[in-house]
């Protein structure tokens, strides 16, 4: 009942202050959306395979969900969805393929640019994101370099590239959502260091990129770092025994052209995800995360960075103030961004903790940001603020709801 009341309130705001998504002349080359300034802004729409009817995705989605997003001022959507190849068998799944094509068609008809972000793939299932470190997880794509699913993963993206590689409305291929190490952390130290040093994910990503580019497909490719894509850890691996001569190492981007480093930002997660930490009026932890993005960008000037997931539970105290600050930091760094989450209107879906449409105050902040972006085609940033204060606390992971 509470969710329904929030949803009604959110829609009242949307209907009373609706704006038409707009921008200057659209680039003809999708790469032009990434190489400078904020050119893409919008939200994630999440889908998963319905366990009761595996031919369908849930939550229920309709064309008007994309139309509402565009009318609110967004110009893009990040489709965070299952891949069209089965995680267990590695075989092509025609139902997932049809569902993907349908949603891309709806987004394009609504006037939105599309980034395809695959949550699942041959050898990697949804549980690896939502139920990590449990017996339900399948992830040999990431852990076993000899797995036949690596070739199947390349085959999957080859099919997508053949279908959408010449489609200028599909402006990005995000290879895999939130790759990460297989083991839980111990003694407040990340165990991701050995996983990163093995470069398993980087090697897999490199093969996929080559497969796509060998077909002369120039669609921008988004690669997420292998520690849950967390912005906070772009510049370091928490090695229990680091080499004092070398120190913590930054995420090493794969090689190739037209590549984007895609990061997620939910720090401080004890506040944004768990609600167990008090709201910080100084935004120390939040600014620390953006400082890490800025630092990585300076050392990798030819690789654009985007924030294709960020947000917080919409019912938290002062949620709108936190979001307002984060949007300002995004504007300062001129990052393309997609908020988590633009929830759909499925009455049976109760996945609304992060639904920005359920809180009218959050919706106002987003719509104001999107309007400013549309009215600022040259991407002039906000004045810079001082750097971070204090050391960021270490959390269990970078950001999965």
H/E element holding 81? strand 76-81
Q: Look up residue 115 and give its two tokens.
A: 């980034």
pLDDT in tens, 21-63: 444 556 789 999 999 899 999 999 999 999 999 999 999 999 9
Q: Give me the pLDDT at residue 385, please.
A: 55
Residues in the chain, overall count: 401
Please state, for a pLDDT cut of 90, what percent of the chain lies above it: 75
The beta-strand segments (E) located in 130-183 are 170-174
- Under a CB-based contact definition with an 8 Å cutoff, are residues 280 and 271 in contact? yes
Cα separation of 191 and 183, whole Å? Answer: 7
Is 113 strand, coil or helix? strand
pLDDT in tens, 351-365: 679 999 989 999 999
Residue range 89-117: average pLDDT? 98
- Under a CB-based contact definition with an 8 Å cutoff, are residues 279 and 318 in contact? yes
pLDDT in tens, 255-275: 999 999 999 999 999 999 999
Helices 360-374/319-333 angle, 10° precision: 20
The dihedral sign for the CA sequence 228, 3, 358, 96 = positive
How far is Cα of residue 20 from the mean position of the Cα atoms in its chain? 24
pLDDT of 291 above 70: yes
Looking at 8-17, 246-255, 285-294, which range is the least confident one?
8-17
Cα separation of 227 and 243, whole Å? Answer: 20
Q: Omega before 353 cis (within 30°)?
A: no
pLDDT of 306 above 90: yes
Please state, for a pLDDT cut of 70, what percent of the chain lies above it: 83
Residue range 220-227: average pLDDT? 96
pLDDT of 11 above 60: no
H/E element holding 46? strand 41-46
HEC string of 295-342?
HHHHHCCCCCEEEEEECCCCCCCCHHHHHHHHHHHHHHHCCEEEECCC
Select from 3.40.50.2000, 3.20.20.80, 1.10.3720.10, 3.40.30.10 the CATH code of 2-16+44-374.
3.20.20.80
Cα separation of 326 and 283, whole Å? Answer: 9
| Residue 55 CB neighbours (<10 A) | 12
Q: Look up residue 261 and give its two tokens.
A: 């480093």
For residue 203, give every residue at least 6 positions away whose Cβ sits within 8 Å of its Cβ, in sequence order, or none. Answer: 145
pLDDT of 399 above 50: no
Q: Give me the pLDDT at residue 3, please.
A: 41
pLDDT in tens, 173-217: 999 999 999 987 655 555 677 788 889 999 999 999 999 999 999
Beta strands 113-118 and 76-81 are parallel
Residue range 330-343: average pLDDT? 96
What's this model's pTM, rounded to 2 decimal places?
A: 0.90
């Amino acid at each position: 009942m509470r969710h329904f009341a929030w949803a009604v309130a959110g829609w009242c705001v949307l209907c009373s202050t609706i704006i038409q998504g707009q921008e200057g002349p659209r680039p003809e080359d999708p790469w032009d959306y990434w190489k400078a300034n904020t050119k893409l802004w919008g939200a994630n729409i999440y889908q998963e395979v319905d366990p009761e009817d595996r031919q369908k995705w849930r939550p229920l989605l309709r064309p008007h969900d994309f139309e509402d997003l565009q009318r609110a001022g967004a110009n893009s959507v990040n489709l965070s969805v299952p891949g069209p190849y089965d995680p267990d068998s590695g075989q092509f799944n025609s139902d997932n393929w049809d569902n993907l094509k349908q949603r891309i068609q709806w987004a394009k008809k609504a006037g939105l640019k599309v980034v395809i972000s695959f949550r699942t793939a041959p050898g990697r299932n949804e549980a690896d994101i939502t139920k990590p470190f449990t017996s339900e997880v399948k992830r040999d794509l990431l852990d076993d370099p000899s797995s036949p699913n690596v070739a199947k993963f390349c085959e999957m993206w080859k099919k997508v590239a053949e279908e959408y590689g010449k489609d200028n409305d599909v402006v990005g291929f995000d290879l895999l959502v939130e790759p990460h190490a297989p083991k839980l952390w111990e003694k407040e130290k990340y165990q991701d260091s050995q996983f990163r040093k093995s470069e398993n994910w980087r090697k897999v990503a490199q093969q996929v990129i080559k497969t796509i580019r060998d077909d002369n497909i120039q669609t921008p490719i988004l690669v997420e770092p292998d520690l849950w894509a967390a912005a906070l850890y772009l510049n370091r691996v928490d090695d229990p025994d680091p080499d004092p001569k070398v120190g913590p190492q930054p995420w090493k981007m794969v090689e190739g052209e037209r590549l984007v480093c895609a990061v997620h930002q939910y720090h401080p997660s004890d506040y944004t995800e768990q609600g167990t930490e008090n709201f910080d009026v100084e935004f120390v932890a939040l600014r620390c995360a953006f400082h890490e993005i800025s630092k990585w960008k300076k050392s990798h000037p030819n690789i654009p960075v985007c924030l294709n997931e960020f947000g917080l539970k919409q019912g938290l105290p002062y949620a709108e103030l936190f979001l307002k600050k984060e949007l300002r930091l995004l504007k300062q760094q001129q990052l393309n961004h997609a908020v988590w989450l633009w929830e759909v209107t499925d009455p049976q879906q109760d996945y609304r903790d992060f639904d920005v449409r359920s809180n009218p105050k959050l919706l106002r902040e987003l719509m104001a940001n999107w309007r400013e972006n549309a009215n600022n085609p040259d991407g002039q940033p906000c004045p810079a603020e001082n750097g971070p204060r204090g050391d960021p606390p270490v959390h269990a992971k970078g950001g999965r709801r």
